[in-house]
Amino acid sequence: MTDFKDKITVLLSEPEGAANLGYIARIMANTGFSRLELTGILSGREQTASIYAVHASRILDTAVKNLSFQELTSKADVVIGFSPRNPWDNGLSLPYEKLAETVKSEISSGKTIGLLFGNEANGLSNEQLAVCRYRVALPTEAECPSMNLSHAVLVVLWELRLALKDTAAETAEPDFASVSQKQIFKEKFSELLELSGYLNGQNNDVKLMEVSMMFDSKEWSEREMNLLTSVTGKLLREIKALKK
């Protein structure tokens, strides 16, 4: 049997306030979550963070510091990004009311969840939102859509705590492509696009972001992803041979 909370990690992209970080650790302890990872200038060991964490310093002590955004988001099978903005009408916007149900369903199918929050000043950029399987806008008044970072974390974790309290379930044996498998394929595919001339110097970042979204938005089986990677690798070898 699996405790759903053990499958959920709070991901903070470059948080700026040590006090906010301490508040988030305290919120996590209050709601029964313990897995925290972050990027940026803070480590979680700051005195101010410890002061505001109060009884939850253990969460800061075990927080994982990542060197990049890619590393931060590469370990969760499903990344859910929280932002008042919805840059694309591609069906990946998840209503807040369906958040808990979706998280429960994904965990039951064998996946791990990363709850991604941007920093206090800028939130999540389009490039960062592009890696998210789902995007969620938290319910706020239209006149004031932006929420303090620690408050946003509280709203999300409290909702999940209420929905998943005392919930345990047998998780299915994973039959889907892992995050690392997807990343390997996308790197090969990006190289193929560059060698083929598709990336001609105009809007390359946007094109790559759209390609990444296309593959991240679908659940691929291991067999499908291995086949795509194999075909892409073969095409790469042939193009490289022709260019010699």
Per-residue pLDDT of the chain (244 residues; tens, 9 = 90+): 567 888 999 999 999 999 999 999 999 999 999 999 999 999 888 999 999 998 898 999 999 999 999 999 989 999 999 998 888 887 789 999 999 999 999 998 888 999 999 998 889 999 899 889 999 999 888 888 788 999 999 999 999 998 887 665 555 556 777 777 777 888 888 888 888 887 777 777 777 777 777 777 677 777 887 788 888 888 878 887 777 7
Task: Say how many CA atoms lie within 13 Å of 11 toward its Cβ.
Answer: 31
| One-letter identity of residue 22 | G
| One-letter identity of residue 66 | N
Q: What span, in angstroms and rounded, lies between the C-alpha atoms of 179 and 76?
A: 7
Q: What span, in angstroms and rounded, lies between the C-alpha atoms of 88 and 177?
A: 24
- Collapsing DSSP states into helix, strand and coil, what is residue 115? strand
How far CA 38 is from CA of 25, 51, 115, 118, 189, in Å, comes to: 12, 19, 11, 10, 28
Question: What distance lies between CA 193 and its chain's CA centroid?
Answer: 25
Q: CB neighbours of 219 closer than 8 A, spacing ≥ 6?
A: 176
